[in-house]
Amino acid sequence: MLCSLLIITIILFLGFRYIIYYFGNLTGCQAVCRIAEVIYFVIIRRCGEKRRPESTQTLREMNMKIRLKQFTRKGLYSLVIVLIYIAGQNIPLPWIGMNPADGSGQQNIFASIRSVLGSSSRITSIFHLGLMPWMTASILMQLVNFTRSRRKRLPNTDMKRFTRLLAVALCVLNAWLDSAGMDFVSLVGGSVTLTRMAVTAVLTMGTVAVIFLSEKNNDNGVGGISLFIFINIVRNTEALLVGKAADVGAGRAAIFGLLGLIAVIAVVFMEDSEFRMPSQKIMIYNEMAENSYFALKFAPIGIQPLMYVMGFYLVPCFLLDVLSRLFPHVAPLRYLSDNMGYSNPVGLTAFCLSYVFVTAALIAVFVSPEEIADEMLRGGECLVGLRPGRTTERYLKKVLTVMGSASTAVILLLLAVPMGLGIAWNVDTRISSLPMSAMILAGIIKSIRQEIVSLRVLDHYKEVF
């Protein structure tokens, strides 16, 4: 107990420092945040090096000693981050006797989403909320910024700042609501309210710590935020299969496994498939000009919507939960609040519609035909048979609409079929959503693999002089 309280105190301190550093830009906090990185890199760079006489060291060798290879350095950095994250997932939250019940309705949908974006399902840890608040804040800020005109859109630095602020606010709300369903074995000051406030503070700072780790991994490691989602899915899926697979039955479990395999194959196919449009550069001629093309992926933004839709879907769930608590006598609010989970047709339909909306929004945000056409026009490039500018933009919009609609329909089918079978067979939603988790895992693995390949290629570049 004392050890847990000590570690939680450290987490609270670091979380407070993190908030001040990013929201206040104080010099002292900047130094504190950088000390750990300096110590880490000094240790890593010195590890395994054999000292040689200075007279025999060439300038190139001395420069190489200043840094490790990109892949090795980033891989070791991510390993340290992962170990810290897993350690935090295994630190139980004080005052709690057991996990909140994963019943029906809201608790069911929260449990399903937490298995991907949250903490371990085995214990209620200080990282219980995981990445859910940050993912929700991120998609909301992207949508709000997209509604503004191009000249008035916020720069990346402001977007990060507002996303963090919104994530902290959502974290406080989520933690307070979660604390209402927790079984307290001890009370702070003999008061349930004070205990809920303490739990909210610890969970908030734990989530701030997770955001801090994910951003550091994104800057200095491999995989970025996807690495944390990968760990959550693997750990919670293993625990789920051990605890729930026997209740499903061998035949039904085989069907869900087959659907998961089909989902993985479909994701790999969509990630590797692209539509190539012949292009040419004005006033440039070479022997390979006829092989030049501009490519768009079959799934324009990959599996990102699968991760972001979970955070986005929590918004209506939260609102309905809060409204149903404030107005318990309003029957429609109570009905919607109790039926937003995957275990009934209403919740499944709402989730599928949310996926369509999030996919369309992310395509509009990250793949803009107008910006692509403008860049091609300024760079002297055009698609063969099309006039630069408006004509190219309209054509790209048609291509994006067709490919986005086709890829969305495929993923919706792979989502709806297993979840629909779960409703018909009354299977735990975390089992019926395993094909969705398999798709996310496949996309993350391919993304990390491409990043590792790029780093290894970069390591093989040599200086000319």
CATH of the domain at 339: 1.10.3370.10
Can you say whether residue 49 is alpha, beta or left, with left for phi > 0 and alpha for psi between -120 and 50 degrees?
beta
* Buried-exposed string 353-367: b where 16+ CB fall within 10 A, e elsewhere: ebbbebbebbbeeeb
Read off the pLDDT band of 429 (50, 70, 90): confident
465 domain-assigned:
no
Give the span between the Cα atoms of 254 and 264, in whole angstroms: 15
Give the span between the Cα atoms of 372 and 369, in whole angstroms: 5
Average pLDDT, the chain: 77
Cβ–Cβ contacts within 10 Å for residue 4, how many?
Answer: 14
Q: Which stretch, 90-94, 199-203, 314-318, has highest mean pLDDT?
A: 199-203
Show the 3-state SS of 303-326: CHHHHHHHHHHHHHHHHHHHHHHH
Q: Clarify whether residues 122 and 180 are in a common domain.
A: yes
Please tell me the predicted confidence (pLDDT) of residue 462: 55
Domain count, the chain: 2
Please tell me the predicted confidence (pLDDT) of residue 312: 86
Read off the pLDDT band of 56 (50, 70, 90): very low
Q: Clarify whether residues 303 and 161 are in a common domain.
A: no
Please tell me the predicted confidence (pLDDT) of residue 16: 46
Read off the pLDDT band of 289 (50, 70, 90): low
Q: Clarify whether residues 264 and 352 are in a common domain.
A: yes
Q: Clarify whether residues 271 and 374 are in a common domain.
A: yes
- Tens digits of per-residue pLDDT, 327-358? 888 888 888 888 887 778 888 899 999 999 99
- Tens digits of per-residue pLDDT, 131-188? 888 888 888 888 888 887 777 888 888 888 899 899 999 889 888 888 887 888 888 8
Structural domain span for residue 345 = 249-460
Domain boundary among 225, 245, 265: 245
Domain boundary among 245, 275, 295: 245
Q: Which strand (E) or helix (H) includes residue 52?
A: none
Q: Clarify whether residues 130 and 215 are in a common domain.
A: yes
Is the pLDDT assigned to residue 197 strictly greater than 60? yes
